[in-house]
Amino acid sequence: MRTTVHKLFWIWQLPKEEAWINEMAEHGYGLVSAGKITFEFEDIESGQYKYKEMMLKGSFDSKNVRNFLKFMEEMGVDNVGHVSYPGHTIVYLRYDSSLENFDIYSDLDSKIEYEKIMVGYLLFAAIINLAAWILNMAIFIANCLRGYPSYISLVSTLSLVLTVIIFINISKRNSTISTLKAEREIHE
């Protein structure tokens, strides 16, 4: 039986989304297709599969993504869905959970690369939010100067709060990148 679930995850919440998909698989729901907010599951044996989400450079039809998925297929890793973003594609990979200690990536460079992509997206989101806040504040100040009744809108406050949250997240990810780089200097 197929079950459709609508759930929103932001692009920087890949690990959270992946953990949720794997939790669903533990409960006997195996992912068969994914969209931006739509996930389709089918009944599977509890814990039969494990899932991994990856962000790849290029569109889904690009040579880079196609070659990668073909290689993964040779390894027994199936692609069950994808979501396209400008310049990148998120692919949903499925593999048999009997493969012990299996991970799609084992080296530090790949982890650093993923964190860098995330920082790029977050920086873009932070700039958009900051611009929205500046615009709202400019309107507020202009209205005050003209003597019009004015107030700081909810949207403006939210933009500022979101910008701060995003910058905190960027800072955490930069710290992760530094730690991984330090580790790479010693171990690779």
Residues that bind another protein (CB under 8 A): 54, 68, 71-72, 74-77, 101-107, 109-110, 188
Nearer to another protein, 14 or 77 (CB): 77
Q: Give the shortest CB-80-to-another protein separation in angstroms.
A: 16
Q: Give the shortest CB-72-to-another protein separation in angstroms.
A: 6
Would residue 150 be called left, alpha or beta, if left means φ above 0 and alpha means ψ between -120 and 50 degrees?
beta
Nearer to another protein, 24 or 54 (CB): 54
Nearer to another protein, 61 or 74 (CB): 74
Q: Give the shortest CB-21-to-another protein separation in angstroms.
A: 18
| Alpha helix (H) residue ranges in 44-107 | 63-74
Q: Give the shortest CB-48-to-another protein separation in angstroms.
A: 19
Dihedral of the alpha carbons of 160, 163, 58, 116, in degrees to the nearest 10: 170
- Burial 2-25, CB ≥16 within 10 A → b, else e: eeeeeeebebbebeebbebbbebb
Residue found by looking up tokens 């389709």 in the block: 40
Nearer to another protein, 112 or 130 (CB): 112
Residues 6+ apart with CB under 8 A from 43: 1, 28, 29, 30
Q: Give the shortest CB-18-to-another protein separation in angstroms.
A: 14
Nearer to another protein, 118 or 160 (CB): 118
